[in-house]
Amino acid sequence: ALHEAILEPEKFAITNYQAVSRKPFFRCIEAVKQSKECLYLLEGSREQEVYWTDFYTKVACKSKLDIYKKGMVIDIKTTRAR
């Protein structure tokens, strides 16, 4: 849910996510929006697909990068404590 809310806010609808704890979730989104560093990193190309052939195995590979910006790959991850 957080991944979609940050990377694709136009598609995001909280009603699609019943298991989301709403208060911490929206606090996290607000923290990202208020961080100059986060906003800078979010300016890159989003959901960019990359294709290559592995040098050793010759297997065709594909990856979808959350954000790509000037040689950097930014991957949005979440975690929780129990």
Which pLDDT score is estimated for 2? 81
Which pLDDT score is estimated for 19? 63
Which pLDDT score is estimated for 4? 83
Coil, strand or helix: which one is 49?
strand
> Which tokens is 24 given?
């911490």
Which pLDDT score is estimated for 20? 66
pTM beyond 0.75: the answer is no
Which pLDDT score is estimated for 81? 67
Per DSSP, which regions of the chain are E strands?
A: 45-53, 60-69, 72-74
Task: Report, as ranges of residue numbers, the positions in the chain whose pLDDT lies below 50.
Answer: none
Which pLDDT score is estimated for 53? 98
